[in-house]
Amino acid sequence: MCSIYRYCQPSEIGSLAQQVSICIDEVSAWTKANQLQLNPAKTEVLWCASTRCQHLISTEPIRIGDASVLPVQDLGVYIDANIIMKSHVTNTVGSCFAALHQISSMQRL
């Protein structure tokens, strides 16, 4: 199995895109061998870069099986430097409490 998380210089993105496509092909072969199915229509690719290097990132589609997938800009997930997602969990919990508060105030009416 391959690693989907990779690091590269902006000049190496074309090569990395090919590596990602090959990796996804390996994942797809594994899923088929285990009677599962990878859905390219629901697969997303996210390029991550510092603010200083974002303009160097390619917007070209990545081949996923027979489909071409455009890289997304935002998955709606907050990732911190340690990849522990503490800020994402905190924001999600805060949103849930806010929704519960709205629901409880509606029941009082």
Domain boundaries, given as residue ranges, for the chain? 1-75, 76-109
pLDDT digits (tens, 9 = 90+) for 57-73: 778 888 887 888 888 76
Q: Is the pLDDT of residue 82 over 80?
A: no
pLDDT digits (tens, 9 = 90+) for 11-26: 787 888 888 888 888 8
Of the pLDDT bands very low, low, confident and very high (cuts 50, 70, 90), residue 34 is very high
Query: Would you say 28 and 20 are in contact if contact means Cβ atoms under 8 Å apart?
Result: no
pLDDT digits (tens, 9 = 90+) for 87-102: 778 888 888 888 888 8
Q: Give pLDDT, residue 61.
A: 86
